[in-house]
């Protein structure tokens, strides 16, 4: 049976390190609060006007392509996951394609936030298994620092996020018991505004009015992408109901992992490496405890990079692999939860 496998993986993070102390210069926060509540010590920020989600994605992609033993001309499809695209439209997929100089192939952008990489992996898996494509380039990249609120009002969101990119090449494998064994995707839009970056948008006040976020006059401004009022009232930043997201995440992470284990007849003790989306060290630790996994079977790097959303799983997966913690035949479990709400999991028998 043909399965798909991760044939090459790479990541890129910007050079600039921003510590919790650095952020405390702009807003009322402190290193102790951030570390205690999230585990984060520092994150990376891209260079404005030089780097973007696309340029970071390109750097990660080049590494993944080389490690897969192919050339960029072999790539036959692109999937790009980001919530911080260079443009409102078109998406980053075509921009990355242009930068790589491989016109003509399909390029798909997906918007599934923290679950973006797992969603992208599942899409790539289906395309490869059906025989449609043989070398899919899957990228997750974020330029969060360009859109955060650096005043105290935004502190619960801003201290969490960081910039970076990860990429993978997905290829077919016929090797027995290797490759992507299963993927599981879920969403519940009931909670869409609990973690959202609403303006600019074409909502025309419809949903904001409903949720009481103070949209000024939907009839007058309906359909506009960005109003002066939004700017004046500083409604142009991401907002998050942290405790609500936390509560949902700690329920859905174990649920979707168990779903993947049940689908494959495996147990949590069979997992050799668990790579959770890096949302909060406390969430990862909670899930680790639920699965009864020892520390050496969980890869966390939120301490260094913060939450890089669509990039967080490929960066962590790549780091774990580079550190020699993922070997041929290992069972790797990926799981993510985030804005939407969306969540998902994947089980991979490494190699192939």
Structure tokens at 24: 């405390």
Tell me: does residue 307 bind ligand UT7 (CB under 6 A). yes
CB of 70 to ligand UT7, least distance (A): 32
Which is nearer to ligand UT7, 148 or 168 (by Cβ)? 148
> Could you please report the per-residue DSSP string of 60-89?
HHHHHHHHTT--GGG--EEEEE-SS-SSSS
Q: Which of 84, 115, 173, 280 binds ligand UT7 (CB under 6 A)?
A: 280
- 221-247 in b/e form (b: 16+ CB < 10 A) is beebeebebbeeeebbbbbbeeeebbe
Tell me if 20 contacts ligand UT7 by CB under 6 A: no
Strands 342-349, 179-187: pairing is antiparallel
Tell me how far apart the alpha carbons of residues 319 and 315 are, in angstroms, rounded to a whole number.
Answer: 6
191 in catalytic set: no
Q: Residue 254 corresponds to which tokens in the numbers above?
A: 């174990």
| Residue 3 within binding range of ligand UT7, rule CB under 6 A | no
Binding flags for ligand UT7, 149-188, as an x/- string (CB under 6 A): ------xx--x-----------------------------
Task: Say whether residue 191 binds ligand UT7 (CB under 6 A).
Answer: no
**Is 196 a binder of ligand UT7 (CB under 6 A)?**
no
Structure tokens at 175: 């090797």
Residue from 144, 184, 203, 277 carrying the catalytic annotation? 277
Tokens of 266: 């495996």
Nearer Cβ to ligand UT7, position 128 or 279? 279
Residues contacting residue 328 through CB under 8 Å, at least 6 positions apart: 350, 351
Give yes or no for residue 310 binding ligand UT7 (CB under 6 A). no
267 is catalytic: no
Report d(CA 327, CA 325) in Å as an integer. 6
**Site for ligand UT7 (CB under 6 A): which residue of 78, 110, 114, 208?**
114
Q: Does 33 bind ligand UT7 (CB under 6 A)?
A: yes
Q: Is 246 in the site for ligand UT7 (CB under 6 A)?
A: yes
Per CB under 6 A, the list member of 4, 29, 97, 227 interacting with ligand UT7 is 29
Tokens of 111: 């918007």
Give least dist CB 312 to ligand UT7, A.
8
Cα distances from 32 to residues 21, 41, 163, 305, in angstroms, run 10, 9, 22, 17
252 binds ligand UT7 (CB under 6 A): no
Residue 297 in the binding site for ligand UT7 (CB under 6 A): no
Q: Does 249 bind ligand UT7 (CB under 6 A)?
A: yes
Give 39 or 57: the residue with its C-beta nearer to ligand UT7. Answer: 39
Q: Give me the least distance between CB of 307 and ligand UT7, in Å please.
A: 5
**26 neighbors 18 (Cβ within 8 angstroms):** no
User: Assign residue 10 a region: left if phi > 0, alpha if psi is -120 to 50, beta otherwise?
Assistant: beta
Residue 318 appears among annotated catalytic residues? no
Query: Among residue numbers 36 through 95, which ones bind ligand UT7 (CB under 6 A)?
Result: 37-38
- Would you call 158 exposed, middle or buried from its count of C-beta atoms within 10 A (0-12, 13-18, 19+)? buried
Q: Active-site positions?
A: 114, 277, 307
Question: Which residues of the chain form contacts with ligand UT7 (CB under 6 A)?
Answer: 29, 33-34, 37-38, 114, 155-156, 159, 195, 242-243, 245-246, 249, 279-280, 283, 307, 338
């Amino acid at each position: 049976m043909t399965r798909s496998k991760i044939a090459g993986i790479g990541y890129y993070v910007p050079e600039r390190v921003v510590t919790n102390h650095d952020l405390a210069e702009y807003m009322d926060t402190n290193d102790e609060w951030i570390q205690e509540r999230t585990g984060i010590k520092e994150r990376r920020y891209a260079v404005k006007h030089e780097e973007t989600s696309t340029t970071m994605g390109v750097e990660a992609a080049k590494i993944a392509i080389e490690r897969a033993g192919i050339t960029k001309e072999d790539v036959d499809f692109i999937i790009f996951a980001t919530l911080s695209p260079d443009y409102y439209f078109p998406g980053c997929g075509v921009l990355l394609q242009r930068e790589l100089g491989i016109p003509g192939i399909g390029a798909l952008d997906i918007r599934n936030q923290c679950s973006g990489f797992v969603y992208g992996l599942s899409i790539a898996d289906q395309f490869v298994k059906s025989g449609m494509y043989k070398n899919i380039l899957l990228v997750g990249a974020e330029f969060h620092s360009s859109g955060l609120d650096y005043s105290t009002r935004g502190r619960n969101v801003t201290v969490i996020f960081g910039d970076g990119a990860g990429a993978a090449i997905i290829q077919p494998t016929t090797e027995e018991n290797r490759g992507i064994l299963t993927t599981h995707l879920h969403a519940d839009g009931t909670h869409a505004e609990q973690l959202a970056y609403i303006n600019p948008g074409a909502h025309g006040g419809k949903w904001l009015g409903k949720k009481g976020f103070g949209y000024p006059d939907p009839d007058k401004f309906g359909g506009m992408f960005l109003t002066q009022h939004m700017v004046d009232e500083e409604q142009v930043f991401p907002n998050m109901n942290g405790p609500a997201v936390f509560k949902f995440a700690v329920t859905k992470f174990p649920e979707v992992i168990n779903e993947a284990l049940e689908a494959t007849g495996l147990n949590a003790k069979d997992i050799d490496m668990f790579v959770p989306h890096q949302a909060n060290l406390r969430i990862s630790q909670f899930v680790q405890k639920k699965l009864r996994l020892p520390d050496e079977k969980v890869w966390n790097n939120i301490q260094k990079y913060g939450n890089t959303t669509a990039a967080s799983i490929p960066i962590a997966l790549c780091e774990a692999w580079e550190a020699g913690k993922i070997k041929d035949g290992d069972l790797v479990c990926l799981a993510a939860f985030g804005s939407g709400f969306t969540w998902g999991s994947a089980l991979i028998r490494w190699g192939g």
